[in-house]
A and B are shown apart, each in its own frame.
Chain A
Amino acid sequence: MSASLAAAANAASSPDEASAISVKDMRKCFGNHEVLKGISLEAHKGDVISILGSSGSGKSTLLRCINLLETPDSGEVRVDGELIKMKPGRDGNQVPADIRQVERIRANLAMVFQSFNLWSHMTVLENLVAAPTHVLKRPRAECLEQAEALLKRVGIWERRNYYPPHMSGGQQQRAAIARALAMNPKVMLFDEPTSALDPELVGEVLRVMRSLAEEGRTMLVVTHEMSFARDVSSKVMFLHKGEVDCLGEPKEMFARAPTQQFGQFIANFNK
Protein backbone atom coordinates (compact mmCIF):
# COMPACT_ATOMS: atom_id res chain seq x y z
CA MET A 1 0.00 0.00 0.00
CA SER A 2 2.58 2.51 1.10
CA ALA A 3 4.97 1.18 -1.53
CA SER A 4 2.46 1.74 -4.30
CA LEU A 5 1.74 5.25 -3.00
CA ALA A 6 5.45 6.02 -3.05
CA ALA A 7 5.69 4.64 -6.57
CA ALA A 8 2.81 6.83 -7.68
CA ALA A 9 4.35 9.90 -6.08
CA ASN A 10 7.63 9.07 -7.75
CA ALA A 11 6.00 8.73 -11.13
CA ALA A 12 4.35 12.14 -10.70
CA SER A 13 7.56 13.92 -9.79
CA SER A 14 9.77 12.33 -12.45
CA PRO A 15 7.67 12.11 -15.55
CA ASP A 16 8.18 9.61 -18.26
CA GLU A 17 11.66 9.98 -19.77
CA ALA A 18 10.34 9.62 -23.30
CA SER A 19 7.54 12.15 -22.92
CA ALA A 20 7.93 15.13 -25.26
CA ILE A 21 4.62 16.80 -24.54
CA SER A 22 2.10 15.97 -21.92
CA VAL A 23 -1.17 17.83 -21.58
CA LYS A 24 -3.50 17.10 -18.69
CA ASP A 25 -7.15 18.07 -18.49
CA MET A 26 -6.82 21.29 -20.45
CA ARG A 27 -9.81 23.59 -20.51
CA LYS A 28 -10.38 26.82 -22.37
CA CYS A 29 -13.39 29.08 -22.75
CA PHE A 30 -13.86 32.09 -24.98
CA GLY A 31 -16.53 34.07 -23.16
CA ASN A 32 -19.04 31.40 -22.18
CA HIS A 33 -18.23 29.20 -25.15
CA GLU A 34 -16.24 26.25 -23.81
CA VAL A 35 -13.85 25.34 -26.62
CA LEU A 36 -11.64 22.78 -24.85
CA LYS A 37 -13.44 20.58 -22.34
CA GLY A 38 -10.66 18.80 -20.55
CA ILE A 39 -8.20 17.52 -23.13
CA SER A 40 -5.33 15.23 -22.27
CA LEU A 41 -2.61 14.34 -24.69
CA GLU A 42 0.64 12.44 -24.43
CA ALA A 43 3.28 12.73 -27.16
CA HIS A 44 6.40 10.62 -26.86
CA LYS A 45 9.65 11.47 -28.52
CA GLY A 46 9.38 10.58 -32.19
CA ASP A 47 5.59 10.56 -32.19
CA VAL A 48 3.78 12.15 -35.09
CA ILE A 49 0.29 12.87 -33.88
CA SER A 50 -2.32 13.98 -36.39
CA ILE A 51 -5.08 16.00 -34.81
CA LEU A 52 -8.29 15.76 -36.78
CA GLY A 53 -11.68 17.29 -36.23
CA SER A 54 -14.28 19.35 -37.97
CA SER A 55 -14.08 23.12 -38.10
CA GLY A 56 -14.56 24.71 -34.70
CA SER A 57 -13.76 21.53 -32.76
CA GLY A 58 -10.87 23.29 -31.00
CA LYS A 59 -7.82 21.94 -32.85
CA SER A 60 -6.07 25.29 -33.27
CA THR A 61 -6.97 26.34 -29.76
CA LEU A 62 -5.38 23.16 -28.41
CA LEU A 63 -2.09 23.82 -30.24
CA ARG A 64 -2.12 27.49 -29.24
CA CYS A 65 -2.72 26.59 -25.61
CA ILE A 66 0.28 24.26 -25.68
CA ASN A 67 2.70 27.06 -26.55
CA LEU A 68 0.69 29.59 -24.55
CA LEU A 69 -0.30 31.76 -27.51
CA GLU A 70 -3.62 31.35 -25.72
CA THR A 71 -3.67 30.90 -21.99
CA PRO A 72 -5.55 27.74 -20.99
CA ASP A 73 -8.06 28.31 -18.19
CA SER A 74 -6.90 25.20 -16.37
CA GLY A 75 -4.89 22.07 -16.89
CA GLU A 76 -1.18 21.46 -17.11
CA VAL A 77 1.33 21.32 -19.93
CA ARG A 78 4.72 19.64 -19.68
CA VAL A 79 7.32 19.96 -22.39
CA ASP A 80 10.15 17.45 -22.19
CA GLY A 81 9.08 16.82 -18.61
CA GLU A 82 9.15 20.47 -17.59
CA LEU A 83 5.91 21.82 -16.21
CA ILE A 84 4.88 25.25 -17.49
CA LYS A 85 4.32 27.16 -14.29
CA MET A 86 1.04 28.97 -13.91
CA LYS A 87 -0.33 31.18 -11.18
CA PRO A 88 -3.79 32.48 -10.39
CA GLY A 89 -4.57 35.65 -12.35
CA ARG A 90 -6.76 38.59 -11.43
CA ASP A 91 -9.97 37.25 -12.96
CA GLY A 92 -9.61 33.85 -11.29
CA ASN A 93 -8.16 32.11 -14.36
CA GLN A 94 -4.54 31.08 -14.36
CA VAL A 95 -1.80 33.06 -16.10
CA PRO A 96 1.83 32.13 -16.84
CA ALA A 97 3.91 32.53 -13.70
CA ASP A 98 7.21 33.09 -15.44
CA ILE A 99 7.17 34.64 -18.90
CA ARG A 100 10.88 33.84 -19.35
CA GLN A 101 10.11 30.17 -18.89
CA VAL A 102 7.29 30.43 -21.42
CA GLU A 103 9.59 32.12 -23.94
CA ARG A 104 12.25 29.48 -23.43
CA ILE A 105 9.73 26.68 -23.90
CA ARG A 106 8.19 28.32 -26.97
CA ALA A 107 11.63 28.35 -28.56
CA ASN A 108 11.59 24.54 -28.20
CA LEU A 109 8.15 24.24 -29.77
CA ALA A 110 8.51 25.67 -33.24
CA MET A 111 5.15 26.39 -34.80
CA VAL A 112 4.18 26.30 -38.46
CA PHE A 113 1.07 28.28 -39.29
CA GLN A 114 -1.64 27.89 -41.88
CA SER A 115 -0.86 31.33 -43.31
CA PHE A 116 2.96 30.91 -43.04
CA ASN A 117 3.45 34.12 -41.04
CA LEU A 118 6.96 34.69 -42.30
CA TRP A 119 8.22 38.13 -41.35
CA SER A 120 7.56 40.02 -44.54
CA HIS A 121 10.24 42.68 -44.09
CA MET A 122 13.02 40.09 -43.86
CA THR A 123 14.48 37.94 -46.62
CA VAL A 124 14.01 34.20 -46.31
CA LEU A 125 17.51 33.82 -44.92
CA GLU A 126 16.92 36.56 -42.35
CA ASN A 127 13.68 34.84 -41.36
CA LEU A 128 15.66 31.70 -40.63
CA VAL A 129 18.38 33.30 -38.53
CA ALA A 130 16.34 35.91 -36.61
CA ALA A 131 15.13 33.71 -33.76
CA PRO A 132 18.16 31.41 -33.52
CA THR A 133 20.55 34.36 -33.17
CA HIS A 134 18.39 36.59 -30.97
CA VAL A 135 16.36 34.12 -28.94
CA LEU A 136 18.77 31.19 -28.71
CA LYS A 137 21.81 33.52 -28.87
CA ARG A 138 23.71 31.21 -31.20
CA PRO A 139 26.58 32.60 -33.28
CA ARG A 140 25.34 34.21 -36.46
CA ALA A 141 27.80 32.49 -38.78
CA GLU A 142 26.74 29.09 -37.52
CA CYS A 143 23.05 30.01 -37.90
CA LEU A 144 23.59 31.21 -41.45
CA GLU A 145 25.34 28.01 -42.37
CA GLN A 146 22.53 25.92 -40.89
CA ALA A 147 19.91 28.14 -42.55
CA GLU A 148 21.43 27.59 -45.99
CA ALA A 149 21.56 23.86 -45.41
CA LEU A 150 17.92 23.81 -44.34
CA LEU A 151 16.86 25.85 -47.36
CA LYS A 152 18.65 23.36 -49.59
CA ARG A 153 16.84 20.58 -47.84
CA VAL A 154 13.40 22.08 -48.44
CA GLY A 155 14.41 22.98 -51.98
CA ILE A 156 14.29 26.78 -51.94
CA TRP A 157 17.93 27.70 -51.48
CA GLU A 158 17.78 29.72 -54.73
CA ARG A 159 15.16 31.92 -53.08
CA ARG A 160 17.18 32.62 -49.94
CA ASN A 161 17.42 36.35 -50.69
CA TYR A 162 13.79 36.74 -51.68
CA TYR A 163 11.25 38.48 -49.52
CA PRO A 164 8.35 36.20 -48.57
CA PRO A 165 5.68 38.19 -50.46
CA HIS A 166 7.56 37.44 -53.69
CA MET A 167 7.24 33.69 -53.35
CA SER A 168 4.48 31.15 -53.97
CA GLY A 169 2.50 29.80 -51.03
CA GLY A 170 4.25 26.44 -51.23
CA GLN A 171 7.66 28.09 -51.18
CA GLN A 172 6.64 30.29 -48.26
CA GLN A 173 5.42 27.32 -46.28
CA ARG A 174 8.62 25.40 -46.97
CA ALA A 175 10.55 28.46 -45.81
CA ALA A 176 8.37 28.55 -42.69
CA ILE A 177 9.14 24.89 -42.00
CA ALA A 178 12.84 25.64 -42.44
CA ARG A 179 12.46 28.53 -40.02
CA ALA A 180 10.97 26.10 -37.51
CA LEU A 181 13.78 23.59 -38.07
CA ALA A 182 16.39 26.30 -37.54
CA MET A 183 15.34 26.40 -33.88
CA ASN A 184 16.34 22.72 -33.46
CA PRO A 185 12.98 22.33 -31.75
CA LYS A 186 12.08 19.45 -29.47
CA VAL A 187 8.56 19.38 -30.88
CA MET A 188 7.07 20.91 -34.01
CA LEU A 189 3.51 22.18 -34.00
CA PHE A 190 1.75 22.39 -37.37
CA ASP A 191 -1.61 24.12 -37.67
CA GLU A 192 -3.13 23.11 -41.01
CA PRO A 193 0.09 23.77 -42.91
CA THR A 194 -1.41 22.96 -46.31
CA SER A 195 -4.88 24.43 -45.98
CA ALA A 196 -4.01 27.81 -47.46
CA LEU A 197 -2.23 26.32 -50.47
CA ASP A 198 -3.40 25.81 -54.00
CA PRO A 199 -3.95 22.07 -54.53
CA GLU A 200 -0.95 21.74 -56.81
CA LEU A 201 1.35 23.13 -54.10
CA VAL A 202 0.19 20.84 -51.29
CA GLY A 203 2.40 17.96 -52.38
CA GLU A 204 5.71 19.79 -52.06
CA VAL A 205 4.92 20.74 -48.46
CA LEU A 206 3.64 17.30 -47.50
CA ARG A 207 6.82 15.75 -48.91
CA VAL A 208 8.92 17.88 -46.59
CA MET A 209 6.72 17.00 -43.61
CA ARG A 210 6.87 13.32 -44.42
CA SER A 211 10.66 13.43 -44.49
CA LEU A 212 10.64 15.12 -41.06
CA ALA A 213 8.42 12.37 -39.70
CA GLU A 214 10.74 9.76 -41.16
CA GLU A 215 13.78 11.21 -39.42
CA GLY A 216 12.03 10.78 -36.10
CA ARG A 217 10.95 14.31 -35.26
CA THR A 218 8.20 14.79 -32.73
CA MET A 219 5.30 16.52 -34.41
CA LEU A 220 1.76 17.54 -33.57
CA VAL A 221 -0.04 18.13 -36.84
CA VAL A 222 -3.48 19.63 -37.16
CA THR A 223 -4.49 18.67 -40.66
CA HIS A 224 -7.25 17.89 -43.08
CA GLU A 225 -4.91 15.76 -45.20
CA MET A 226 -6.29 12.30 -44.53
CA SER A 227 -3.49 10.61 -46.45
CA PHE A 228 -0.91 12.23 -44.17
CA ALA A 229 -2.86 11.23 -41.06
CA ARG A 230 -3.28 7.67 -42.24
CA ASP A 231 0.11 6.97 -43.80
CA VAL A 232 2.59 9.16 -41.94
CA SER A 233 1.41 9.72 -38.39
CA SER A 234 1.99 7.33 -35.52
CA LYS A 235 -1.20 8.34 -33.72
CA VAL A 236 -4.43 10.00 -34.72
CA MET A 237 -6.45 12.06 -32.32
CA PHE A 238 -9.97 13.06 -33.25
CA LEU A 239 -11.46 16.08 -31.52
CA HIS A 240 -15.17 16.60 -31.41
CA LYS A 241 -16.72 19.66 -29.78
CA GLY A 242 -13.74 20.29 -27.56
CA GLU A 243 -13.27 16.70 -26.39
CA VAL A 244 -11.06 13.83 -27.45
CA ASP A 245 -13.56 11.65 -29.21
CA CYS A 246 -11.08 8.92 -30.03
CA LEU A 247 -7.37 8.30 -30.24
CA GLY A 248 -5.40 5.47 -31.70
CA GLU A 249 -3.22 3.88 -34.35
CA PRO A 250 -4.02 5.36 -37.76
CA LYS A 251 -4.23 2.03 -39.56
CA GLU A 252 -6.78 0.68 -37.11
CA MET A 253 -8.75 3.90 -36.87
CA PHE A 254 -9.08 4.26 -40.60
CA ALA A 255 -9.83 0.56 -41.10
CA ARG A 256 -12.63 0.60 -38.56
CA ALA A 257 -13.78 3.87 -37.03
CA PRO A 258 -13.89 3.44 -33.25
CA THR A 259 -16.73 5.93 -32.82
CA GLN A 260 -19.70 6.94 -34.86
CA GLN A 261 -18.51 10.56 -34.93
CA PHE A 262 -15.17 9.63 -36.43
CA GLY A 263 -16.86 7.32 -38.91
CA GLN A 264 -19.02 10.18 -40.10
CA PHE A 265 -16.04 12.50 -40.25
CA ILE A 266 -14.08 10.24 -42.58
CA ALA A 267 -17.14 9.39 -44.58
CA ASN A 268 -17.58 13.12 -45.26
CA PHE A 269 -14.01 13.31 -46.47
CA ASN A 270 -14.28 10.35 -48.79
CA LYS A 271 -17.31 11.83 -50.48
Chain B
Amino acid sequence: MGFLNSLKDQLSTAYELLAAGWGLQLLWGIGWTLAVTMVSMLIGAALGSLVAAAKLSHRGGLRFIGESYTTVFRGEPELLIIYLFYYGGTQILTGVARSTGSIGSTDILNMPSFLGGVLAVGIISGAYQAEVFRGSFLAIQRGELEAARAYGMSAWLRFRLVIMPQVLRLAVPGLGNVWQLTIKDSALISVTGVAELMLTANKAARSTHHSLLFYTVAGILYLVMTSISTPIFDKAERYTSRSFLRPK
Protein backbone atom coordinates (compact mmCIF):
# COMPACT_ATOMS: atom_id res chain seq x y z
CA MET B 1 0.00 0.00 0.00
CA GLY B 2 2.82 2.38 0.98
CA PHE B 3 4.67 1.46 -2.21
CA LEU B 4 1.68 2.24 -4.41
CA ASN B 5 1.18 5.58 -2.70
CA SER B 6 4.80 6.52 -3.18
CA LEU B 7 4.61 5.51 -6.86
CA LYS B 8 1.55 7.73 -7.19
CA ASP B 9 3.49 10.61 -5.64
CA GLN B 10 6.38 10.04 -7.97
CA LEU B 11 4.14 10.07 -11.01
CA SER B 12 2.39 13.24 -10.03
CA THR B 13 5.75 14.97 -9.40
CA ALA B 14 6.90 13.77 -12.80
CA TYR B 15 3.77 15.12 -14.37
CA GLU B 16 4.16 18.47 -12.67
CA LEU B 17 7.80 18.80 -13.67
CA LEU B 18 7.13 17.86 -17.28
CA ALA B 19 4.10 20.14 -17.48
CA ALA B 20 6.05 22.98 -15.89
CA GLY B 21 8.11 23.33 -19.06
CA TRP B 22 10.66 20.53 -18.93
CA GLY B 23 8.40 18.46 -21.19
CA LEU B 24 8.49 21.11 -23.88
CA GLN B 25 12.25 21.46 -23.50
CA LEU B 26 12.68 17.73 -23.90
CA LEU B 27 10.59 17.89 -27.08
CA TRP B 28 12.94 20.57 -28.40
CA GLY B 29 15.78 18.32 -27.37
CA ILE B 30 14.34 15.54 -29.53
CA GLY B 31 14.10 18.00 -32.40
CA TRP B 32 17.77 18.97 -32.08
CA THR B 33 18.85 15.36 -31.71
CA LEU B 34 17.05 14.46 -34.93
CA ALA B 35 18.50 17.52 -36.68
CA VAL B 36 22.04 16.67 -35.58
CA THR B 37 21.56 13.04 -36.61
CA MET B 38 20.15 13.86 -40.02
CA VAL B 39 22.77 16.47 -40.90
CA SER B 40 25.50 14.14 -39.64
CA MET B 41 24.09 11.28 -41.71
CA LEU B 42 24.17 13.50 -44.81
CA ILE B 43 27.73 14.64 -44.16
CA GLY B 44 28.60 11.02 -43.49
CA ALA B 45 26.92 9.88 -46.72
CA ALA B 46 28.97 12.32 -48.78
CA LEU B 47 32.23 11.46 -47.01
CA GLY B 48 31.39 7.77 -46.83
CA SER B 49 30.81 7.43 -50.57
CA LEU B 50 34.10 9.21 -51.34
CA VAL B 51 35.97 7.06 -48.85
CA ALA B 52 34.35 3.89 -50.17
CA ALA B 53 35.37 4.89 -53.70
CA ALA B 54 38.91 5.50 -52.48
CA LYS B 55 39.01 2.11 -50.76
CA LEU B 56 37.84 0.42 -53.96
CA SER B 57 40.24 2.34 -56.19
CA HIS B 58 43.05 0.51 -57.94
CA ARG B 59 45.40 3.35 -57.05
CA GLY B 60 47.42 2.41 -53.99
CA GLY B 61 47.62 5.96 -52.67
CA LEU B 62 43.85 6.44 -52.67
CA ARG B 63 43.29 3.06 -51.09
CA PHE B 64 45.70 3.97 -48.32
CA ILE B 65 43.85 7.22 -47.61
CA GLY B 66 40.51 5.41 -47.54
CA GLU B 67 41.80 2.66 -45.27
CA SER B 68 43.37 5.18 -42.90
CA TYR B 69 40.14 7.14 -42.68
CA THR B 70 38.00 4.19 -41.65
CA THR B 71 40.67 2.83 -39.33
CA VAL B 72 41.17 6.13 -37.51
CA PHE B 73 37.58 7.25 -37.19
CA ARG B 74 36.24 3.88 -36.16
CA GLY B 75 39.16 3.23 -33.86
CA GLU B 76 39.18 6.44 -31.83
CA PRO B 77 36.71 7.21 -29.02
CA GLU B 78 33.92 9.37 -30.45
CA LEU B 79 34.28 11.83 -27.60
CA LEU B 80 37.92 12.46 -28.47
CA ILE B 81 37.00 13.32 -32.04
CA ILE B 82 34.28 15.68 -30.87
CA TYR B 83 36.71 17.45 -28.52
CA LEU B 84 39.25 17.57 -31.32
CA PHE B 85 36.82 19.24 -33.68
CA TYR B 86 35.17 21.54 -31.18
CA TYR B 87 38.12 22.70 -29.10
CA GLY B 88 40.67 22.21 -31.86
CA GLY B 89 38.39 24.10 -34.24
CA THR B 90 38.01 26.88 -31.70
CA GLN B 91 41.78 27.10 -31.35
CA ILE B 92 42.30 27.31 -35.11
CA LEU B 93 39.48 29.83 -35.63
CA THR B 94 40.78 31.97 -32.79
CA GLY B 95 44.34 31.84 -34.13
CA VAL B 96 43.22 32.84 -37.62
CA ALA B 97 40.92 35.60 -36.36
CA ARG B 98 43.59 37.02 -34.07
CA SER B 99 46.25 37.04 -36.76
CA THR B 100 43.95 38.83 -39.21
CA GLY B 101 43.00 41.25 -36.48
CA SER B 102 39.27 40.58 -36.69
CA ILE B 103 39.19 39.93 -32.92
CA GLY B 104 41.32 41.26 -30.06
CA SER B 105 44.46 39.40 -29.00
CA THR B 106 42.78 37.99 -25.90
CA ASP B 107 39.36 37.30 -27.43
CA ILE B 108 38.26 33.82 -28.35
CA LEU B 109 36.31 32.82 -31.45
CA ASN B 110 34.33 29.72 -30.60
CA MET B 111 33.67 26.99 -33.10
CA PRO B 112 29.90 27.15 -33.71
CA SER B 113 28.70 24.28 -31.56
CA PHE B 114 26.18 22.82 -34.01
CA LEU B 115 28.68 22.95 -36.85
CA GLY B 116 31.53 21.48 -34.81
CA GLY B 117 29.22 18.77 -33.52
CA VAL B 118 27.73 17.66 -36.81
CA LEU B 119 31.14 17.71 -38.48
CA ALA B 120 32.59 15.43 -35.84
CA VAL B 121 29.60 13.07 -35.73
CA GLY B 122 29.31 13.22 -39.55
CA ILE B 123 32.92 12.22 -39.99
CA ILE B 124 32.49 9.27 -37.64
CA SER B 125 29.24 8.31 -39.33
CA GLY B 126 31.09 8.56 -42.67
CA ALA B 127 33.60 5.94 -41.57
CA TYR B 128 30.80 3.46 -40.87
CA GLN B 129 28.85 4.41 -43.99
CA ALA B 130 32.00 3.91 -46.09
CA GLU B 131 32.09 0.29 -44.95
CA VAL B 132 28.42 -0.13 -45.79
CA PHE B 133 28.82 1.38 -49.27
CA ARG B 134 31.92 -0.64 -49.99
CA GLY B 135 30.20 -3.87 -49.02
CA SER B 136 27.17 -2.96 -51.13
CA PHE B 137 29.31 -2.20 -54.15
CA LEU B 138 31.08 -5.52 -53.83
CA ALA B 139 27.70 -7.26 -53.69
CA ILE B 140 26.66 -5.98 -57.12
CA GLN B 141 26.79 -8.74 -59.72
CA ARG B 142 30.03 -8.24 -61.66
CA GLY B 143 28.22 -9.22 -64.86
CA GLU B 144 25.84 -6.28 -64.58
CA LEU B 145 28.75 -3.85 -64.38
CA GLU B 146 30.34 -5.59 -67.31
CA ALA B 147 27.14 -5.29 -69.32
CA ALA B 148 27.11 -1.57 -68.59
CA ARG B 149 30.62 -1.28 -70.02
CA ALA B 150 29.79 -3.50 -72.96
CA TYR B 151 26.87 -1.23 -73.90
CA GLY B 152 29.12 1.80 -74.16
CA MET B 153 28.23 3.50 -70.88
CA SER B 154 30.79 5.99 -69.65
CA ALA B 155 32.09 5.77 -66.09
CA TRP B 156 29.57 8.41 -65.02
CA LEU B 157 26.63 6.65 -66.68
CA ARG B 158 27.64 3.36 -65.12
CA PHE B 159 27.70 5.04 -61.74
CA ARG B 160 24.39 6.82 -62.20
CA LEU B 161 22.38 4.07 -63.89
CA VAL B 162 23.75 0.86 -62.41
CA ILE B 163 26.06 1.38 -59.45
CA MET B 164 24.26 4.03 -57.42
CA PRO B 165 20.75 2.53 -57.53
CA GLN B 166 22.07 -0.90 -56.59
CA VAL B 167 24.39 0.38 -53.87
CA LEU B 168 21.47 2.26 -52.34
CA ARG B 169 19.31 -0.82 -52.42
CA LEU B 170 21.93 -3.02 -50.84
CA ALA B 171 22.98 -0.35 -48.36
CA VAL B 172 19.59 0.28 -46.74
CA PRO B 173 19.85 -2.29 -43.93
CA GLY B 174 23.43 -1.26 -43.15
CA LEU B 175 22.47 2.40 -43.17
CA GLY B 176 19.74 1.60 -40.65
CA ASN B 177 22.44 0.40 -38.28
CA VAL B 178 24.56 3.48 -38.91
CA TRP B 179 21.52 5.67 -38.23
CA GLN B 180 21.18 4.07 -34.78
CA LEU B 181 24.88 4.55 -34.07
CA THR B 182 24.65 8.16 -35.21
CA ILE B 183 21.67 8.89 -32.95
CA LYS B 184 23.69 7.58 -30.03
CA ASP B 185 26.78 9.56 -31.05
CA SER B 186 24.67 12.69 -31.28
CA ALA B 187 24.24 12.52 -27.49
CA LEU B 188 27.96 13.10 -27.11
CA ILE B 189 27.83 16.52 -28.72
CA SER B 190 26.00 17.76 -25.65
CA VAL B 191 29.56 18.60 -24.54
CA THR B 192 29.68 21.36 -27.15
CA GLY B 193 26.48 22.94 -25.84
CA VAL B 194 23.96 21.99 -28.51
CA ALA B 195 20.63 21.76 -26.69
CA GLU B 196 19.83 18.27 -27.92
CA LEU B 197 18.06 15.65 -25.83
CA MET B 198 21.06 14.61 -23.72
CA LEU B 199 21.99 18.15 -22.73
CA THR B 200 18.38 18.98 -21.93
CA ALA B 201 17.98 15.89 -19.77
CA ASN B 202 21.20 16.79 -18.00
CA LYS B 203 20.06 20.31 -17.33
CA ALA B 204 16.69 19.15 -16.04
CA ALA B 205 18.25 16.50 -13.83
CA ARG B 206 20.69 18.93 -12.25
CA SER B 207 18.35 21.79 -11.66
CA THR B 208 15.47 19.69 -10.27
CA HIS B 209 17.55 16.93 -8.61
CA HIS B 210 15.29 14.37 -10.27
CA SER B 211 18.06 12.52 -12.07
CA LEU B 212 16.28 9.18 -12.03
CA LEU B 213 13.20 10.67 -13.61
CA PHE B 214 14.83 12.70 -16.38
CA TYR B 215 17.44 10.15 -17.40
CA THR B 216 14.75 7.48 -17.54
CA VAL B 217 12.52 9.68 -19.67
CA ALA B 218 15.46 10.55 -21.96
CA GLY B 219 16.40 6.88 -22.15
CA ILE B 220 12.88 5.97 -23.24
CA LEU B 221 12.89 8.75 -25.83
CA TYR B 222 16.20 7.54 -27.32
CA LEU B 223 14.86 4.02 -27.42
CA VAL B 224 11.75 5.22 -29.24
CA MET B 225 13.89 7.08 -31.79
CA THR B 226 16.23 4.17 -32.44
CA SER B 227 13.50 1.55 -32.58
CA ILE B 228 11.11 3.57 -34.72
CA SER B 229 13.82 3.70 -37.35
CA THR B 230 13.81 -0.09 -37.69
CA PRO B 231 10.37 -0.42 -39.32
CA ILE B 232 11.07 2.68 -41.41
CA PHE B 233 14.30 1.21 -42.80
CA ASP B 234 12.57 -2.15 -43.26
CA LYS B 235 9.95 -0.48 -45.36
CA ALA B 236 12.59 1.38 -47.34
CA GLU B 237 14.38 -1.90 -47.91
CA ARG B 238 11.25 -3.59 -49.16
CA TYR B 239 10.79 -0.71 -51.60
CA THR B 240 14.35 -0.58 -52.89
CA SER B 241 14.66 -4.33 -53.25
CA ARG B 242 11.28 -4.79 -54.89
CA SER B 243 12.93 -6.23 -58.00
CA PHE B 244 14.21 -9.10 -55.89
CA LEU B 245 10.98 -10.01 -54.17
CA ARG B 246 8.40 -12.17 -55.82
CA PRO B 247 5.61 -10.09 -57.31
CA LYS B 248 2.34 -10.53 -55.43
A residues with a Cβ closer than 8 A to B are: 67, 69, 99, 103-107, 109-111, 113, 115-123, 130-131, 134-136, 162-166, 179, 183
Contact = CB atoms under 8 A, between A and B. Distances in A.
Closest 3 CB pairs of A and B: A107-B152, A163-B243, A117-B143
Contacts of B157: 134-135
Nearest to A162: B247
A130 B161 contact: yes
Interface residues of B, number: 23
B167 to A, nearest CB: 10
Contacts of B169: 121
Most chain A CB neighbours (cut-off 10 Å) among B152, B153, B162, B169? B152
Nearest to A130: B161
Nearest to A183: B151
Contacts of B152: 103-107, 131, 135-136, 183
A182 B77 CA distance: 54
B242 A120 contact: no
Given A119-B148, A179-B151, 10 more contacts: A69-B149, A106-B149, A119-B161, A119-B162, A120-B144, A121-B169, A135-B152, A136-B152, A163-B242, A165-B243
B147 A121 contact: no
Contact of B153 (A110, A117, A134, A162): A134
Most chain A CB neighbours (cut-off 10 Å) among B143, B157, B247? B143
B219 to A, nearest CB: 40
Nearest to B246: A166
Contact of A117 (B141, B242, B246): B141
Nearest to A126: B161
A193 to B, nearest CB: 13
A113 to B, nearest CB: 6
B224 interface: no
Contacts of A105: 152
B19 interface: no
Given A120-B244, A121-B166, A166-B246, A131 B153 contact: yes
B147 A111 contact: yes
Contacts of A122: 243
Interface in B157-202: 157, 161-162, 165-166, 169
A113 B161 contact: no
Nearest to B145: A117
Nearest to A135: B152
Interface string B129-152: 000000000000101101111111
A133 B243 CA distance: 22
A165 B165 CA distance: 16
6 contacts: A103-B153, A121-B165, A121-B243, A131-B151, A135-B153, A163-B244
Contacts of B100: none
A115 B151 CA distance: 16
Contacts of B106: none
B246 to A, nearest CB: 7
B154 interface: yes
A164 B246 CA distance: 11
B146 A120 contact: no
Given A119-B162, A121-B165, A134-B161, A106 B143 contact: no
A79 B1 CA distance: 93
Contacts of A121: 162, 165-166, 169, 243
A69 B158 CA distance: 14
A183 B148 CA distance: 13
Nearest to B242: A163
B243 A67 contact: no
Contacts of B242: 163
A146 to B, nearest CB: 15
Given A103-B152, A104-B152, A106-B152, A120 B147 contact: no
A166 B151 contact: no
Most chain A CB neighbours (cut-off 10 Å) among B146, B149, B151? B151
B244 A115 contact: no
Contacts of A67: 150
Contacts of B243: 120-123, 163-166
B166 A117 contact: no
Interface in B225-248: 242-244, 246-247
A110 B151 contact: yes
A24 to B, nearest CB: 22
Given A163-B244, A165-B244, A118 B147 contact: yes
